[in-house]
Amino acid sequence: MAIRLGKHVYCQKPLTHSVFEARVLTELARKHKVATQMGNQGHSNPDSRRYVELIQAGALGDVKEVHIWTDRPIWPQGIGRPSGTPPVPKNVSWDLWLGPAPERPYHPAYHPFKWRGFWDFGTGAVGDMGCHNSDLAYWALNLRNPKTLEALSSGVNSETAPKWSIITYHFPQEGKRKPVKVVWYDGGKKPDPALARQKSLPGNGSILIGSKDSLYIPMYWGKGTFLSGATEADFKNVPETIEKPADFNRHHYLEWIAACKGGKPAWSNFDYAGPMTEAMLLGLVALRSGKKIEWDAKKMRVKNVREANRFIHKEYRKGWVL
């Protein structure tokens, strides 16, 4: 509604609740020429921005494999619907809080924080942290529209995301960039620490494995380590084309405000953030369908598993429309 009214929009990750919604927002923002920004603050981190420049300049060679993991969920998942009907707190408008989700009784199992694990409200660990932890790889490698996806998990039910999952994305070749396999881990699952030459791995991180070198980031974003021993100082010949703010959290908002005032588009505008959100949420489609899926991005449908398409979009409660 805001975009159709010509309003500029800043929206937190993962931007939308479904793949279809992400596509709609992307196309609407482009059509109405509004300034947009998704709240994946690491996109403004100066170290991450420099790594994007270096990776795109060939510092790692051909990156064919990426591993990304998070310590989420830090809320209950792999559970059923809670029982009982506690009274709604006086400060909560329960009908408004439900929004387009199917009607159900209030319960503290959802509000104010634990809703993230429930399919009707949230997108589990992948949606909650995917657009943070995966951002460097998606930006640096221009990852769009995975060709196939497959998932393993602790088990999926109709109420909540699983306790843990491992989702493998296969991205086709894009220009000079060769095909890339991206593996996502959550719920305590992690890649082999040896890939980063570590004895153990922290709760969040990523490893980009290239033909010349590999890069290990031991957090959502920020300072990392080239496994060859190289440092950023070794790449002084690579020009800096993206600004490097000192206070990147604040800059992420200011960048959007500048775009609202007629400046250049924010770096995580919906032309970037929308397709990234689509890709992350497609992981949930593979997870919930329980099968390897083949994605047709142009037609926005799963080609090989017809029943998986019911997870691409959703029905809205009466009174709510897109």
pLDDT at 275: 97
27-51 per-position pLDDT tens digit: 999 999 999 999 999 999 999 999 9
| Domains: count for the chain | 1
What pTM value is reported for the model? 0.97
For residue 286, the domain's CATH number is 3.30.360.10
49 is in which domain, residue-wise? 9-311
Q: Tell me the H-state helices in the chain.
A: 19-32, 46-56, 94-98, 124-133, 135-140, 248-260, 270-289
Query: Do the Cβ atoms of 275 and 26 come closer than 8 Å?
Result: yes
In a domain, 321, yes or no: no
Residue ranges of the chain whose pLDDT lies below 70: none
pLDDT at 235: 98
In a domain, 2, yes or no: no
Encoded tokens for 174: 């894009």
pLDDT at 241: 96
pLDDT at 59: 98
In a domain, 4, yes or no: no
In a domain, 320, yes or no: no
pLDDT at 106: 97
99-118 per-position pLDDT tens digit: 999 999 999 999 999 999 99
Q: How far is CA 262 from the centre of its chain?
A: 27
Locus of tokens 């994007």: 52
Asked if residue 179 has a cis previous peptide bond (ω within 30° of 0), the answer is no
In a domain, 110, yes or no: yes
Find all residues with CB under 8 Å of 244, minimum gap 6, and list them: 46, 49, 50
Q: Which of 36, 17, 13, 12 is nearest to 26 (CA)?
A: 36
In a domain, 302, yes or no: yes
Per-residue three-class SS string for 233-282:
HHHCCCCCCCCCCCCHHHHHHHHHHHHHCCCCCCCCCHHHHHHHHHHHHH
Query: Do the Cβ atoms of 274 and 15 come closer than 8 Å?
Result: yes
In a domain, 33, yes or no: yes
| Helix, coil or strand: residue 136 | helix
- Give the DSSP H/E element, type plus range, for residue 108: none
In a domain, 318, yes or no: no
Amino acid at 255: E
d(CA 107, CA 231): 51
Query: Do the Cβ atoms of 69 and 216 come closer than 8 Å?
Result: no
